[in-house]
Every structure is written in structure tokens, then in C-alpha cells.
Amino acid sequence: MNPVNYLYLAALLFTIGATGVLIRRNAIVVFMCIELMLNACNLAFVVFSRMHGNLDGQIIAFFTMVVAAAEVVVGLAIIVSLFRTRHSASVDDASLMKL
């Protein structure tokens, strides 16, 4: 099977993730969309690794997973404490950082 198709799939997943980040208000959903974007990238890396015949892309994919795991820990903690103080998980309610 042509590996380019996997790239199309990766681009599709990334676009779905980005759109979700931009249009959804629920912090959990936004978070999941970010994960979607990261995994789209991982897929692209692995495909490139396969296409070029070296292991660089696969190694970077592991790095991405580590970073994503750390991000999940910090991000979920923020979301939980946000929900505790404001009783809402909407990202638009947390809009105090403005002039």
C-alpha cells in the first residue's frame, strides 16, 4: 500500500484536531483534540521514517509520546483545579487575562 495515504490520514487527523481546538468550548474536548493533533504528527513521523528507511522519525515519535504524557499530567491538573474553583470546564469562561 502506498505510504502517502498514511500521510493523508495524518493530515486529516491533524485538521480534525485543530478544528476541534478552535471551535469546541469544553476544556476536556479541547484537550483530547490536542492529543489528536499530537498523534497525527506521530503518525506522520513514523510514515516518514518508513519512507526514508531510517529510524529518526520513530525516535522522535517516542519523544512526542513522553512530552504528551507530561502534558496530560499538567493539563489535566489545570483543568481539574479550574473546574473546582469556577464550577465550569468552558475555556471561554477563563478569560480574565486581558486589559
Partner 1 sequence: MENLIALLIAAPLLGAAVLLVGGRRLDAVGQWIGTLLSAASFVFGLILFADLLGKNAEHRTLTQHLWTWISVGSFQADVTFRLDQLSMTFVLLITGVGSLIHLYSVGYMEHDERRRRFFGYLNLFLAAMLLLVLADNYLLLYVGWEGVGLASYLLIGFWQHKPSAATAAKKAFLVNRVGDMGLSIAIMLMFTTFGSFAFGPVFSHAGDASEGKLTAIGLMLLLAACGKSAQVPLQSWLGDAMEGPTPVSALIHAATMVTAGVYLIVRSAAIFNLAPDAQLAVTVVGAVTLLFGAIVGCAKDDIKKALAGSTMSQIGYMILAAGLGPIGYVFAIMHLVTHGFFKAGLFLGAGSVMHGMNDEVDMRRYGGLRKYMPVTFITFGLGYLAIIGFPFLSGFFSKDAIIEAAFAKGGTQGWILGGAALLGAAITAFYMTRVMLMTFFGEKRWQPDENGNEPHPHESPKVMTIPMVLLAFGSVFAGGLFSIGDRFLNWLEPVTGHSEGHSPISAATVTGATMVCLVIGVGIAWAQYGRKPVPAVAPRGSLLTRAARRDLLQDDFNHVVLVRGGEHLTRSLVYVDHTLVDGVVNGTAAGFGGLSGRLRRVQNGFARSYAVSMFGGAALLVAATLLMRAV
Three cell numbers written together for 91: 475555556
Instruction: Determine which residue in the list 55, 69, 85, 95 makes contact with partner 1, applying CB under 8 A.
Output: 95
The full length of the chain comes to: 99
Residue 99 lies near partner 1 (rule: CB under 8 A): yes
Residue 74 lies near partner 1 (rule: CB under 8 A): no
Cα gap 93→99, rounded to integer Å: 16
Cα gap 28→97, rounded to integer Å: 20
From 18-26, 41-49, 65-73, 80-88, span contacting partner 1 (CB under 8 A): 18-26
Closest CA to 82 of 21, 20, 26: 26
Instruction: Determine which residue in the list 7, 9, 16, 18 makes contact with partner 1, applying CB under 8 A.
Output: 18
Closest separation between CB of residue 52 and partner 1, Å?
A: 18
Residue 92 lies near partner 1 (rule: CB under 8 A): yes
